[in-house]
Structure 1
Amino acid sequence: MSRPLSVQLYSVRAPLAADRAGTLERLAAMGYGAVEAFDVDDDPAGLRRLADGLGLVVSGAHVGQALGADPDAALDAVAGLGTTLAVIPAGFPREEFTTRDGLARTAERLNSLAGTAARHGLRLGYHNHWWELEPRVAGRHALDVLAEFLAPEVFLEVDTYWAAVGGADVPALLGRLGDRVQALHLKDGPGTKDDPNVAVGGGTMPVPELLAAAPDAWRVVEFDACAGDVFGELAASRAYLDALAAV
């Protein structure tokens, strides 16, 4: 895996808001080589300058704003970050993931938006939470069915922890989705919906099996919530993943 390890900046949203430059410097000093943006409305040009200055790649950007009234403006901001991956992180009614018709409607919207993204030099992706896995449609996880409706150019960023919370055998899921998976969110914890995350490698997730199942995908560490010092947990995550890579 030649791509640098990335971190979703939502993990450090509070310190980032207080001191963007200092926060990015701390991540770079830990050995993270990339970041994934989550708020493209917040001075994307400034984020790009800081990342470039620190040698950080922008691996992708979450851009829920692209589902709004002006997708071109949101996608133009993503393109300005220097990445080619624009990720829709949610934004569809959860009920749409409970029926085949709902999944078809969701895919139709994503497929249409993928054409808009392409005009900005971007590839569009979708990021799951638990509610795309927990419902079964004709006996299959909703995300599996959605993938069949998606145009080939639409990729998936699989949040491995949320997929597990939703009841999936995540390595098997990744195997079924194959090259559709261009990025993984790596997080760990007790495998519940409401408890905070812990450092990658410190919870219930089968991390080596996840990495083996999607060896070419971007690896993006994320904390939705952290009970302790998030920088310490990010450093521990980095050390664990480095140790796996050295085996």
Structure 2
Amino acid sequence: MRLISVLLLINISSGAFSQHYDWPMWRYDHNRSASTPEQLADELHLQWQVNYSPRIPVWDDPLNQNLMQFDRIFEPIVAGNKIFLGFNDQDKIVALDLETGEELWHYYADGPVRLPLASANGKIYFTGDDGYCYCLNSEDGSLVWKVLLAPDSNKLLGNKRLISMWPARGGIVIKDNVIYTAASIFPLMGTFIYALNADDGTIIWKNEGTGSNYILQPHRSPAFADVAPQGSFVITGNKLLVAGGRSVPAAFDINTGEELYYH
């Protein structure tokens, strides 16, 4: 059986884990800059290794043309003294000890966890194909809150799994204690883009009107459609860029949720 390894490489001469920077979300920050103040040594050494089965991606068909790769590999985050992983085959979050690789806790959702996690203020945030956004305590994995992003709890068979009719595949981005995410991947069924308070999950704003836009499609015919949120979101200036799967992203005002453009 093929295995995928989660590795930790360190500079042994640096005193191991005496100092380190967090990697709190996909590509480090809300700009997705993939850059950290941490200075890597010229030579790294293997500290530990944990093996897992390969991921089961949602878009593995050749028609995808490699345009959606968000759940093909593990994309861990680091917060404090822990590494956090999401599993799309076992529907869970796992916390590993940064120094040893030992599993400290795990938490099961009600559907595949396909998008990278995010962390802030001692909490871990993630979305699932069950249509929910979750907040966990990073110390022990206990549930702090969860919010149903989908309009209802209806289920269907999708990607060989029982999932929400409106799976939450809006990759979480956090800025100024606000979470931005989304549910639903079919504009005709409605798409739901959110700004949530990171402390308690209360809704700051919700945009649920873009699916009714009558726009020209890539096949040159108009239809009622808009962005289909799939992938990690980005914040640049006052704009929230919502990944659109195989299509182009859309831009929203981060303060109001108003759609600024999609073309």
Which structure's relative contact order is higher, taking Cα pairs within 8 Å and 6+ residues apart? 1
Q: TM-score, normalised by structure 2?
A: 0.27
Q: TM-score, normalised by structure 1?
A: 0.29
Structure with greater strand percent: 2
